[in-house]
Amino acid sequence: MSTYTIGVLGLWHLGEIYTAGLSELGHKVVGIGDDKAVVENLSRDIPPLPEPQLEKLLESNRKAGRLKFTEDISEVRNCNVLWITFDTPVDDNDEADLTVVYDALLKAIPHLQNGVLLVVTSQVPVGTSQKIKDFIHAKRPDITFDYVYTPENLRLGEAVRCFFEPGRIVIGAETQEAFQKIEEIFSGLHAEFMRMSPPSAEMAKHALNAFLATSVSFINDIADICEQVGADVLDVVKALRSDPRVGEKAFLSPGLGFSGGTLGRDLKALSAVSKNFNVNPLVIESVYKKNALRKNLVMDRLLSKLGNMKGKTIAIFGLTYKAGTKTLRRSRALEVAKDLSGADALVRLHDPYADKEEIPHIANTIFFSDPYEAAENAHAVVLVTPWPEFKNLDFKKLKSVVQPPNLFFDTANFLSNKMTDISSMGFIYLGIGRRK
């Protein structure tokens, strides 16, 4: 197996996984960042975003001499591969900002060696690969380099496993040498390599996330119809997944829609490029609109049961953007909390893993580390993020602290198999897409 010296630019979630993963595959890796605290912590095997098994990988590869971290961008000159792994920032409109990528490249370009392989794994809008190549040639017209776009396919809370068990690796390149180098770098993984052009690789990532987003909005439409006609969406999902044309792993979990920015970013990117070429992406734009409105379901459902929000106490269980991560960025639960607060409700928050100090200030909200304290005197308990801990809730104890009408709104249908037990404790159990 050929080994490479790889510089990794971008040291947040994506970068922490790729530095650990690439060094575990036997390559010499240097993670380069400009945040002193992040670099120092990684040098002590403390990642900026915790993931299962990650600290052990960082420690073992650092001690083996295959991995180090630095603020010194000149280290790039010693690398025959430069890997871009920034977690692309997304604004509140789900639009990507690549400033951090170009700023880092600007600093790195003077130190690039001729013949370097530049690899981009950050999520970028289609067309970015050509812009990056043009950007580098504009700064150093005589430099020779190969370019690869290989989109990441990591999931928060499962990122290490996703890196080492990718199933397939999409490689967007234009030369046989570039394809071969990437396949050599990843040769320690059991994966299918899919060769294509950089624009096709960019579009493949957009298309995948747009397809997943479409599945989410589609099943939410089906759930809304199920409620009106007396059908149960969970039975419908079971039937859909049993069809091999759909499959068991299909994104068909009705709820409050997708959040976090990743899927929205790709929908927005496809919408923007479509407009540039006078294409009308009706499905993509409808998926985005459906999802944007989905968070209103909590307010609508509570208003239908409580009449109004003024003076009502609502407990929200689960604040992180998804289970398995402490990330609160673009959290659906916090969006709901803000809306309830704006309607003059008192909102009591609980999450088993969220960092209290990272929860943004929202008027009329209080955070509790204990779920039963959070539910005290609540007219409704709303479960948003389906942490496994919520399967162990003592509903008898919970019932003793809430007040009528004792609503329990399970926005993820997470406790659907306990619906009868929950109702027997005196709660009005509400799911999504379930028979009324």
Query: Mind listing the pLDDT tens digit for each residue in 264-308?
Result: 999 999 999 999 999 999 999 999 999 999 999 999 999 999 999
Q: What percent of the chain has pLDDT over 70?
A: 100
**For the chain, what is the radius of gyration of the CA atoms?**
24
Residue in the structure block whose two tokens are 């989410």? 216
Q: What CA–CA distance (Å, rounded) separates 195 from 172?
A: 6
Q: Average pLDDT, stretch 139-143?
A: 96
pLDDT at residue 325, rounded to an integer:
85
* In a domain? residue 141: yes
Residues 246 and 134 in one domain: no
Kindly state whether residue 179 falls inside one of the protein's structural domains. Answer: yes
Alpha carbon distance 431, 223 (integer Å): 10
Q: Kindly state whether residues 156 and 224 are assigned to the same domain.
A: no
In a domain, 436, yes or no: no
pLDDT tens, position by position, 101-120: 999 999 999 999 999 999 99
CATH number reported for the structural domain that contains residue 261 in this entry: 1.10.1040.10
Over pLDDT 90: what percentage of the chain?
A: 91
Same domain for 98 and 20, yes or no, is yes
Q: At what angle do helices 198-229 and 282-294 cross, to 10 degrees?
A: 50
Do 283 and 300 fall within a single domain?
no
Q: 128 and 51: one domain?
A: yes
Q: Where are the alpha helices (DSSP H) in 198-261?
A: 198-229, 233-242
Element (H, E) at 271: helix 262-276
Is-contact 74 110, C-beta < 8 A? no
Q: How many domains does the chain have?
A: 3
**Burial of 430: CB neighbours in 10 Å, binned 0-12, 13-18, 19+:** buried
Domain limit, last residue, from 196, 223, 249: 196
| 375 and 257 within one domain | no
Q: Are residues 159 and 210 both part of a single domain?
A: no
Listed residues 155, 173, 196: the one ending a domain: 196
Residues 231 and 371 in one domain: no
Report if residue 103 sits inside a domain.
Answer: yes
CATH of residue 419's domain is 3.40.50.720
Residue 52 lies in a domain: yes
Band of pLDDT at residue 415, cut at 50, 70 and 90: very high
List, for residues 207-225, the tens digit of each pLDDT value. Answer: 999 999 999 999 999 999 9
Note whether 115 and 256 are same-domain residues. Answer: no
pLDDT at 91 exceeding the cut of 80: no
Domain that holds residue 402: 295-430
Q: Is residue 14 part of a domain?
A: yes
Give the residue from 312, 313, 314, 332 showing the smallest Cα distance to 322. 332
- Average pLDDT of the chain is 95
Task: Give the tens place of pLDDT for each residue, 344-378.
Answer: 999 999 999 999 999 999 999 999 999 999 999 99
Q: Confirm whether 244 is domain-assigned.
A: yes
Whether residues 210 and 143 share a domain: the answer is no
396 and 310 assigned to the same domain? yes
Q: Mean pLDDT across the stretch 96-100?
A: 92
Within-domain flag for 13: yes
Residues 189 and 212 in one domain: no
| Domain stop point among 269, 292, 315 | 292
